[in-house]
Structures are given as structure tokens and as C-alpha cells.
Amino acid sequence: MKNKLTFWIITSVLSIIVIYALVSTVLMPVLTKNPLPKAILRTTDDKEKSSKIDNKEIKDEANTDSNVSSNSKEDKMKYFELRKKEVLLHSRLELANEDSMYLVLDLTNNTAFLEMKGVMLHECKIVESTVSNSIKMYHTEALLNWIAEPFMVKHVEATIPKIEYIEKIAPKDSIEANKISAEPAAAKRGDVFIVMDFDRNLRLVISQSELPDDEGKKIISVMKRKYQEIEVRRSLQSLIKFNREPAMPQINIVVSKSDATIFYKSLPVRPKMVLQM
């Protein structure tokens, strides 16, 4: 009798926990289209205020927007493509007005650019790119809001140093100086694996297309494991707090080792990025 009671108590408690976990972590995000943290999307009217060009004409157009017309699916798609292009160009312009280098990730053409003042400094082909399954759930307008403003890095971690300095003690005399001077050699490049956490919960993972050496494999796997642990902890915390966090979409790109190194070393400490997808 006692055993039976214990059985039912334990089974019921665990069943409730399992149902809760299932609902909060799997069903709810799917049913409610787990929201992406929104950027403040500037309306065209806001831009009109900041832009002196064509101000009058645009305002006139805006006044007539309330007119309802029948719209085909193709028109809607065309408009969304235009709107997307507009917000992305606006982001690029915003970053081009700053004095820093920034990253432009174009997933539609599988290319990544390093830009400054609107000038493309370095272009690289993305060998392979994947985006989170969770993005699938978002309505187009939510996605548009999400990519509307430039993403700013909150935290970066990489297997290579950003700046590598060699320290040299000044020689006491010319004899010592002659002994020190040696033929320079190109520095050995370590294997690259970069994780960039941006605002609005975006995570960008940059891997190299070349196979890493044994040492590189170890370092990369340690870093990957660390991030997996963080994800599990995040999941556990959201379960305990009974608070579903916004999704954390991840973009994985594979580029050549040299390109990955160039991007990481050239970008400022807190780089910004425009995402085109």
C-alpha cells in the first residue's frame, strides 16, 4: 500500500514536471512564435524628419497611404523585399557615418564584407552558412524588425588573440643589438573559431573551412563544449524561473582561415554588424 502511494506521488510529480518542461520549452515557443528581441524600427516618417531630401514629396506620399488598394501576393513580397533592402541600407549608412570598421554579413549571396565609410575593404566568400531553426518561426515583419538596426557585439570569444605583441628588451649596446637581430619570419597562425554574441540575442559563430591541427581541435572542442554548457544552463534557468526567454538564434558561417583571422583582427573590440538575409 505504501509502495503504491509512493509510486503514484513520484509519478504524478515527475509527470507534471515533464509536461511543464514540454509546454514551456518546446510547445510554447512553437505555438507563440517565440519572439525575437525587437529593435526599434524607424518608420519612414522618422527618416523623413532627419532627411531634408525629397521631404515634401515623401510626406505627400505618406498622406495618401491610408488609401486601401487590392494587393496581390507578389506585390506584398515585392514590398517586403524593398522594405528589407531599405532598412539594411539604412543600417549601412548609419555605420558608414561612424569612424569604425564594421561587418556586413550577406547570407543571401553568401558573402561577408569588412567595410568602413561605405568602402568595402575586404570581401570573403562564405563556404557554408546555417541559421537557427528558431528563425523559421518568425513572421516576416518580426524578422524585419529584428534585422532593422545594426547588431552590436556584447561579447566575443575566439581561439586566436586579437592583438599579439612580442615584448623585446632594448639592447645595452650595438654588439648586443647585432646578436638580437634575426631574420623575420611570418607568424604561425592558430586555428580559428570565433563566437560573437550580439545584442538582440544573436550569436554568430565563425569557423574555418580548413581542418584544424590536433592542438587546434582540442582548443575548439573546449570552446564548443563551454557554449553547450551555457545553453543547458540557460535552459535550466528558464525552467526554474518559470520564465521563457526570447529565442537565441545562431548563425554559423564557415570561411577560410585567413579570412576569419582578418575579420577578427581587423574589427574593433566592439564591432557592429549589418545582417542581410
Partner 1 sequence: MEIEEKNKRPFLNVIIWIIPVLLFCVFSLMILFTPAFQNSAYKVKSLFTGFQASEETANDGIEKLAIRSQRNINIIESKLNNLKPVKPYIVVNTTENRFSLRNANGDTVRTGGCSTGKNEVLIAGKKRILFKTPKGMFTVLNKQENRPWIKPDWAFIEDGLPIPSARSASRIDYNTLGDYALSIGDGYMLHGTLYQRFLGLPVTHGCVRLGDKDLDVIYHTLSKGSKVFIY
**Interaction with partner 1 in 215-274: which residues (CB under 8 A)?**
228, 231-232, 234-236, 239, 247-252, 258, 261-262, 265-266
Span interacting with partner 1, options 149-157, 181-189, 191-199, 212-220, rule CB under 8 A? 181-189
> Is residue 157 close enough to count as binding partner 1 by CB under 8 A?
no
205 has which bridge partners?
195, 252
| Interface residue with partner 1, options 46, 81, 213, 215 (CB under 8 A) | 81
Q: Which residue's C-alpha cell is 569612424?
A: 99
Binders of partner 1 among residues 94 to 123 (CB under 8 A) are 96-97, 99, 101, 107-108, 110, 114, 116-122
CB of 164 to partner 1, least distance (A): 6
**Of 1 and 214, which has the nearer Cβ to partner 1?**
1
Taking the CA atoms of 82, 84, 87 and 88 in sequence, report the sign of the dihedral they define.
negative
- Give the C-alpha separation, 27 to 121, whole Å: 45
| Interface residue with partner 1, options 33, 35, 37, 83 (CB under 8 A) | 83
| Interface residue with partner 1, options 35, 37, 86, 219 (CB under 8 A) | 86
Reading phi first (left if > 0) and then psi (alpha if -120 to 50, else beta), residue 110 is in left
**Of 56 and 214, which has the nearer Cβ to partner 1?**
56
Under 8 Å between Cβ of 210 and 257: yes
Q: Where are the alpha helices (DSSP H) in 38-112?
A: 44-50, 55-63, 73-96
> Is residue 182 close enough to count as binding partner 1 by CB under 8 A?
no
> Is residue 129 close enough to count as binding partner 1 by CB under 8 A?
yes
**Helix or strand holding residue 4 (H, E):** helix 2-22
- Which amino acid does the sequence have at 75? D
CB of 83 to partner 1, least distance (A): 5
Count of CB atoms situated within 10 Å of the CB of 15: 10
**Of 121 and 222, which has the nearer Cβ to partner 1?**
121
Binders of partner 1 among residues 16 to 75 (CB under 8 A) are 17-18, 21-22, 25-26, 29, 34, 44, 47, 51, 53-54, 57-58, 61-62, 64-69, 71, 75
- 39 φ/ψ angles, rounded to the nearest 5 degrees: -90, 155
CB of 223 to partner 1, least distance (A): 16
**Of 23 and 222, which has the nearer Cβ to partner 1?**
23
**Of 40 and 181, which has the nearer Cβ to partner 1?**
181
| Angle at the Cα of 173 from the Cα atoms of 168 and 177, rounded to 5 degrees | 45
CB of 128 to partner 1, least distance (A): 9
**Helix or strand holding residue 114 (H, E):** strand 111-116
Residue 255 grid coordinates? 570561411
Binders of partner 1 among residues 188 to 207 (CB under 8 A) are 203
Q: Pairing mode, if any, of strands 102-106 and 272-276?
A: parallel
Report how many residues bind partner 1 under the rule CB under 8 A.
Answer: 112
Count of CB atoms situated within 10 Å of the CB of 70: 5
